Structure formats: structure tokens, C-alpha cells
Amino acid sequence: KQEVTQIPAALSVPEGENLVLNCSFTDSAIYNLQWFRQDPGKGLTSLLLIQSSQREQTSGRLNASLDKSSGRSTLYIAASQPGDSATYLCAVPSYSGAGSYQLTFGKGTKLSVIP
Amino acid sequence: AAGVIQSPRHLIKEKRETATLKCYPISRHDTVYWYQQGPGQDPQFLISFYEKMQSDKGSIPDRFSAQQFSDYHSELNMSSLELGDSALYFCASVSVGPGGEQFFGPGTRLTVL
């Protein structure tokens, strides 16, 4: 059974700092990996999707990397801003047959960017 | 293009009542997933549908049922509600295939009193 772990559980940084969030998974036979952002009590916003054949994916100040063999992904946020404060979750799909690829989520990293 | 639509956005029910949550996937997406996120928890998979057929079940109580209709929208029916059912319920839609990105709706916040 796939297990996803995120470290650290919480992170507080001053505005402008670059930071890295970590995600690890136990079964390296993944199809892709998604990073999400969630504001308190709100929905899940997809930030980046990395296919299993890719090593990196970039969107603005965000860069996600994937190392399937070691079961790890990182989300790099450059020049952090207070508006980046949120919980960041990574998730990988697990195939269970009949076209179902339900996501297994990590417990998230709660990021606080201090002005 | 319109995203995934969920209704209602907020729902307050009493214990033992029933609730129906609706999900309208992105156009041409034929697969729908339902997830439950309790307070302070990560989302947990409940049930999925592909081409109007149930494709997988996760940790969904027997009191819950769901279906996908001919227009691909899905409904999650919850009966005999318990306090522990209070949570955010998300649906996600995706084009079929292992590399498909799952797009999430804004969620329905269910509060059981």
C-alpha cells in the first residue's frame, strides 16, 4: 500500500526566503505526482503535476522535482511571499483496477511566511 | 473553461438526517473521485466512477452511496448522519488514463449537529 510522507509538518520563514518542501513515497512505481495548495477550510488547488517520465516541472516561482528511484519529490518556492502561506500537500495515484487511480495524500506541510 | 462544480458549498444537518452532495465534472471528463477530509486530516478516498460505473471503493461507510449519471455528474448520498461525518467533501474529475491530472472542486463543507 502506497504511503506518502511530508517533512516538515510545519515551516515558518521570513518573507523573501527560498524554501524547500519534501515529499517521499514508498512505492516508486508511480504514474505521476501532484502538488496541491490548500488554504484553511478551502479547496485543493493543483500547483504542479510531474509525470513519471519527467524530472522537473516549473510554474512561476515554483519548481517541483521528482526522483522516482529514491521515492522523493521536492517543491522549491523562490522568494517567498506572505500570500504563499498555506498548507502544501503532495499526492500520488494508486491504481486499483477498472480505470481508478485514486490519490494518496501526504499530511501536508503548513507554511507560514512572516512579513 | 469551467472547473469542477460542487453543490451545495455548505450544508448543516442534524444527526440521523440524510444529505446529498452533487458534483459536476469538467466537460468531457468521464472519471469522478470522491474524497473526505476531516478536520486537520489529509483527504481520504471514498469512491470513484468511470463511465458511469463504480470503479473502486475506499473507506466509505455502508451508510453512504453514490452514483454517476448519464451526463457524468455524480451524487454522494449520505444517510443516518453521525457527528463524525462532519468534514469537507471533495470531488475530482480527470480524463481517463494514468497520467491524468485530477482537478478538484471547491468542496462541500458538511456540519452534522
Q: pLDDT of A6-33, one tens digit each?
A: 999 999 999 999 999 999 999 988 989 9
Chain A positions touching B103 (Cβ under 8 A) are: 46
Which of left, alpha, beta for B55 (phi over 0: left; psi -120 to 50: alpha)? alpha
Residue A55, pLDDT score: 94
Chain-chain contact of A51 with B53 (C-beta, under 8 angstroms): no
CA atoms of B22 and B74, how far apart (whole Å): 6
Tens-level pLDDT at each residue, chain B (113 residues): 679 999 999 999 999 999 999 999 998 888 899 999 999 899 999 999 988 888 889 989 999 999 999 999 999 999 999 999 999 999 999 876 555 788 999 999 999 99
Nearest CA in chain A to B104: A44
Taking the CB of residue B2, how many other CB atoms lie within 10 A of it? 8
Nearest to B50 among A52, A98, A107 (CB): A98
Chain A positions touching B43 (Cβ under 8 A) are: 44, 89, 103, 105
Query: Are the C-beta atoms of A102 and B33 separated by less than 8 Å?
Result: yes
